[in-house]
Structure 1
Amino acid sequence: MSAKEAVVTELHKPARVHYRRRRVIIKGINDLFQADLIEMIPYAKQNGGNKYILAVIDCFSKYAWAEPVKSKSAEEVTQAMEKILSTSKRIPRNLQTDNGKEFYNASFKKLMKKYQINHYSTFSQIKSAIVERFNRTIKSMMYRLFSLNGNYNYTKHLRDLINTYNNTVHRTIGMKPSEVDSGNEAFLLKNIYSSVGERRDKQRFNVGDYVRISKQKTVFAKGYTPNWSTEIFKITSVRKTIPYTYLLEDVNKQPIQGAFYAEELQKTKYKD
C-alpha cells in the first residue's frame, strides 16, 4: 500500500461515537449546577414571544428550575439566571454550561463573580448530560400538555410542570428531588455517589504521538466523507482520569482546548 493510500485509509476509518466517558464527580448539594437553553422557537407566538427556556439543575439532588426567555442575548440569559439564583436562595460552587455566547459574555461573567461561582465548560460534542436529560423530560411533559389542552401555551404551566418534576421520585437517587436535604446528603454520597468507577481501560497513546481527531459527524452527515481530520496533532500530556484522556497541540505548538478520549483519536505514522 502506498503512503497516499495509507493516509486515505486513515481518513476513512470508522470513528466510534458511543464509548465510556468520564463520570461527573459530585460532592453534595449545591456543588455542581448545569444550565442549558431549551429551544421553543416554534411556539413563541403562543408564549409571549419567549423562544427559549433556561433550564438549571442541581446535579446532586436533581432539583431543577426553569425560566422562559425571549432570546439568547447576554442580557436575557443573565437576568433569567440571576432570577433563579436569587429566588431559590441556592448558590452552586460550580456551574457547567456549553461554551455558547449566551453564557460567555461580560454580563454573565459579572454575575458569576457576584455569586463567586466557578463557571466552566467542556469542549466535547457531548454536553452537560444531566441537564440535557432533564430537558428531554420537561419537553416530554410539555408535549403531553399540548395534546391535552389543544394548544402550545406552556409559560403559564411551566411552574406547575417544574413542581411536578421536583416532586416525582427520580430513578438515580431513589427519592424526590424536593426531599434531598442536609439530613440525607451523607446517605446519598455514600450509597449513590461514592463509586467513581474502576480503571478498566489501558493507556493507548503516549506523549509525543501524532494523531488525527475524529470528526464525530452528526446523523445527517454524509457517510462517505472522511471521518478523521486531515490536520495532524501531537499529544502533549496524558491525564490519568477514568478513562484516560489526552491533551493535544497543533503543528504550530498551540494547545487545543479540552481533553480527548482515546476513541476520539487515531495514531498516524504520517505526521507531515
Structure 2
Amino acid sequence: AYVELVQALLDEPVLTSPDWTQSFKLEVDASKEAIGGILSQNGRVISYGSHRLTEGERRWSATEREIYAGVFFTQKFAYYLSNSDFTLFTDSRPFSYLMKQRDPHGRFARWIAALQQFGGMTVQYRTGVSNVAADYLSRDIEVEFAPIETRIRTLEGLQKAQDEDEDCQTWRRQGKLPSGSGLERQTAISRDPGTGVITLHGKAIVPPLYRKEILDDLHRSTGHVGINKLYELSRRVFFWPGQKEACREYVNSCEGCARIKPATHRAVLRPYESKDLFADMQADICGPLPRTQRGNEYLLVIVDQASRFPWAYALKDTSAATIVERLGEVFSFTGAPMRLGMDQAQYFTGALTRKVMELYQTEVVSGPLYRPQARGLVERTIGTVKRRLAATVNGSEDWDTCIDCVLAGMRAAKSESLGMSPFEYLTGRSMRLPSMVGVAEIKPIQDEARASDINRAERIRQVLLRSRRVAETHSRTRSLQNVLNTRSTLVPQFKPGDLVLFSKGLKPRRKSAVAGLFIGPLEIVKSLSLFVYK
C-alpha cells in the first residue's frame, strides 16, 4: 500500500509538467532533522524535494533552518524559478523581513545574495497548521499502529475458545485425555474455579485453532529460541497433545530462523562411479603458492577417477595455453578421456580450453559455483599433495623440486577405496621404489611367460578380477560412508514453483554480525538433477 501511494503521488494526475505561462508556488518547511519543499502550479505538483540536515546545520536556530529551507529549494528549482514569477510559502515570519535587513552579516548576507537572482519572488507567510505538505517532507512521521487484538489474548478469550472446541469439552466431561494419544491421565482435567479455564494439572489446554498463535507469540518475543527452549516455555502454562512436535514443526518452518541459522541438512552421498580406466578424470589448480627460484607459483593436479592415479605440475602462470600444454602431456599417456571434471575458473572455461577439449572430443563437466564437493577427488588429492610438500620441503620455498617424490609416494601407497595402490591397479605389480633396490625383487604378474598368448589372456583375466575386487571395495567404502554421513541427513525435495532461501557460498560473507546467511525467498524454476535446481 505504501509503494502504491508513493507511485500515485508521482504519476498523473498528481505530478505534472510546468506551464511556463503561469506563476509557480514553492512551499518550504524545516524541522530539526531535515527540510522539505514542494513546487506546484494550480494545485498540481511539479516536483518534490527533501534534504537531511548535517550535524552542524542541526545546531542552527529554528529561524535559520526555515530561511535555509527557502534558499536551498529556490536553488534546487532554479531551472523553473529563475525567469518566472513565484510565491514562496513559509511558516517563518522572519523570512518575510530577510530581504529588508540593512546590514546583514555572515550566512544571512550570503543567503540574501543567493535570493536576489530571483526577481519574481514573493514571500508569503502561512501558519504551520496550513503548511502540511512541505511539513510532511521535512520530518520523519511516527506512525502508531493499532495493536492487533485476538480472542486468545485474555483469559476470557481462552475460556470462550475452549467452550467452542468439542475436544476440550469432551476431555473435561471425561476427566482424562483419550487413551489413543498416549497421554491418559485419570481425573487430571478440570475447570479452574477462578478463571473458568479448562486445565490439565494447572496448565491451560489450548484448542487447535490457537496453538500456532501461542507458539508465534512465544517464539518471536523470546528472540527466536530453538525447539527445546520453545517447548519448555510453552509447557509451563499451556498444554495440548503433541505439543513438542508442534514446537518442532513451528521452529523448522520459521522464515526468520531459516534466514539466520546455518542449514543442517546435507544431501545423501552419491559418489560417481567410473568403471573404465582413464575414461573420467578431474583437474584443478591451487595457488598462488610461494614463488620458487624457477618462477613457479601454481600447482596443476590431475587425477584419474578409476585408478586414483595422480599427476601434478608446477606452473608459472595459469594461462590457458600453459594448462592445455600440460593436459596434452597427460593425454599422450592416458589417451583422451571421455569426461574431464573442472571448476568454472576462467582458465578452464576460456575459448582455447573449450576448443582443445572439442578436438579431443572430451566432455567438460563443470559443477555448481562454490561447490568443491562436486570435484571431491581432485580436491582431496590437492590437499594431500600440499600437506606432503609442506612436510618434505621443511621450510624451503623450492617446493617444485619435491613434486616427483610426493607423486611417487601417492602412486605407490595403497588406496583404501581401491584396496591396492594406483600403480598396482595400472600395472598389476607393486611399484619399485629406490629404497627397495637390493632388498626385494618385485615381479610382475606372470612375468616368466609374458610372450605367451595364453598368459596374455591370463593377465587380462587378472586385470578383470582386480577390477571386480576394486568395485567390491568401492561398494563397501560407499556403504560405510553413507552410514557415517547420513545418520542425520535430511534431503529436501523441491519442485518448480517452490520458494527457497539461497546461499551464494558455503560460508556466506555477512555485511554485519546480524545479517542473514541467506537471500530470498527465490522460486524454483527447473529441477536439473536430484540435488541441483535452477
Q: Does the alignment reach a TM-score above 0.5?
A: yes
Alignment partner for residue 274 of structure 2, among 5, 10, 26? 26
Kindly report which structure 2 residues correspond to 1:210-229, keeping only aligned pairs within 5 A, or say none.
Answer: 210-218=499-507, 224-229=514-519
Tell me by how many angstroms 1:29 deviates.
Answer: 1.3
Distance 1:142 1:69 in 2: 15
- Residue 245 of structure 1 corresponds to 531
Q: Does 1:98 align with 2:343?
A: yes
1:11 counterpart SS class: helix
Higher relative contact order (CA 8 A, sep 6+): 1
1:157 counterpart SS class: helix
Q: Does 1:136 align with 2:383?
A: yes
Q: 1:74-127 deviations in whole A, cap 9, x for unaligned?
A: 1121222222222x2443211001111111112211221222211111105232
Q: Which has the greater radius of gyration?
A: 2
Q: Quick check: 1:82–1:111 contact (8 Å CA) kept in 2?
A: no
Aligned pair count reads 237
Kindly report which structure 2 residues correspond to 1:1-272, keeping only aligned pairs within 5 A, or say none.
Answer: 8-16=256-264, 19-41=267-289, 43-44=290-291, 46-86=292-332, 88-127=333-372, 128-147=375-394, 150-181=395-426, 183=463, 184-193=466-475, 204-218=493-507, 224-230=514-520, 232-237=522-527, 239=529, 244-248=530-534
Q: Which amino acid aligns with 1:163?
A: A
2:496 counterpart SS class: coil
- Residue 262 of structure 1 corresponds to none
Distance 2:491 2:344 in 1: 30
Tell me by how many angstroms 1:62 deviates.
Answer: 0.5
1:35 counterpart SS class: strand
Q: Quick check: 1:38–1:52 contact (8 Å CA) kept in 2?
A: yes
Gap change, CA 1:108 and 1:215, over 3 Å in 2: closer
Q: Quick check: 1:17–1:216 contact (8 Å CA) kept in 2?
A: no
Q: Quick check: 2:370–2:504 contact (8 Å CA) kept in 1?
A: no
Distance 1:163 1:195 in 2: 24
Gap change, CA 1:105 and 1:176, over 3 Å in 2: same
Tell me by how many angstroms 1:53 deviates.
Answer: 1.1
Distance 2:477 2:420 in 1: 19
Tell me by how many angstroms 1:132 deviates.
Answer: 0.9
Q: Which amino acid aligns with 2:391?
A: R
Tell me by how many angstroms 1:51 deviates.
Answer: 1.1
- Residue 228 of structure 2 corresponds to none
Q: Quick check: 1:15–1:227 contact (8 Å CA) kept in 2?
A: no
Scaled by the length of structure 1, what TM-score is found? 0.75
Distance 1:53 1:71 in 2: 9
Q: 1:16-47 deviations in whole A, cap 9, x for unaligned?
A: 37553432232231121110112143x21x24
- Residue 209 of structure 2 corresponds to none
TM-align CA RMSD: 3.0
Distance 1:64 1:151 in 2: 24
Larger deviation: 72-81 or 187-196? 187-196
Tell me by how many angstroms 1:238 deviates.
Answer: 7.1
Distance 1:238 1:117 in 2: 22
Q: Tell me which protein shows more helix as a share of its residues.
A: 2
Q: 1:146-197 deviations in whole A, cap 9, x for unaligned?
A: 21xx522122221222122101111211211011137122332344258877
Unaligned runs of 5+ in 1: 249-272
Gap change, CA 1:207 and 1:233, over 3 Å in 2: closer
Q: Quick check: 1:216–1:227 contact (8 Å CA) kept in 2?
A: no
Q: Quick check: 2:497–2:523 contact (8 Å CA) kept in 1?
A: no
Unaligned runs of 5+ in 2: 1-215, 221-253, 427-459
Tell me by how many angstroms 1:247 deviates.
Answer: 2.2
Gap change, CA 1:235 and 1:220, over 3 Å in 2: closer
Distance 1:52 1:208 in 2: 44
Identity, % of aligned positions:
20
1:173 counterpart SS class: coil
1:139 counterpart SS class: helix
Gap change, CA 1:7 and 1:172, over 3 Å in 2: closer
Q: Which amino acid aligns with 2:259?
A: L
Q: Which amino acid aligns with 1:155?
A: D
Tell me by how many angstroms 1:9 deviates.
Answer: 4.4
Q: 1:211-239 deviations in whole A, cap 9, x for unaligned?
A: 22134452875663212113522243374
